[in-house]
Amino acid sequence: MANFVKLNGYDVEDTIAREKINNMGNYSTNEVNTGQTWIDNKPIYRKVFVKTDFKDVTHSYAHDIENLDQFIKIEGMFYTPTESVGNNVYQFPFDSTNGEGLYLTANNSTFSIVNKGEHDYTGITCIITLYYTKTN
C-alpha cells in the first residue's frame, strides 16, 4: 500500500510529493523541474549557470535547453575575485552612477551578459538562473 501525504491540499503518493518538495529549493547546473507550473499549466524548469570567463564586452553562452517553449524569468548576480559571496554582491540588472552597467538577455539558444558601457568587468563571477517552460 502506498504512503500518501498532503501537497497543496491533495493526497499525493509520498515519492512524488517528496520529489516536488525537494525540487522547490534545489538549485543545480542541471535542469530541474521546480514542481511549479506556469499559467498555461506547463511545468517550470530551472537551470543555473556559473560563469567566470566574462570579459569586458558582451558575451553569449549556449544554454543547451532542449525543447524550450518560453522563458519565465531570468535572474542573476555577480561579484569580483577580490570579494566573496558574503561581500558586495551585485544583482542584474546593474547600473552604476555613470550610466554603465550589466544586464541579461536570452533567446532560443543562448543567454547573454551585456555590458552597456566601457567598464572592464574582467574576472567577475556571474551566477545566472534561467526559469522556463518546455514544448513537451
CATH number at residue 93: 2.60.40
Interval 116-124 mean pLDDT:
78
Could you read off the pLDDT of 58-109 as tens digits, one per residue? 889 999 999 999 999 999 988 876 655 556 778 888 887 777 788 899 999 9
Containing domain of residue 75, as a range? 36-134
Residue 23 lies in a domain: no
By CB neighbour count within 10 A (0-12 exposed, 13-18 middle, 19+ buried), where does 80 fall?
A: middle
pLDDT at 28: 84
Residue 6 lies in a domain: no
Could you read off the pLDDT of 14-29 as tens digits, one per residue? 555 455 545 556 788 8
Q: Per the structure, how many domains does the chain have?
A: 1
Residue 25 lies in a domain: no
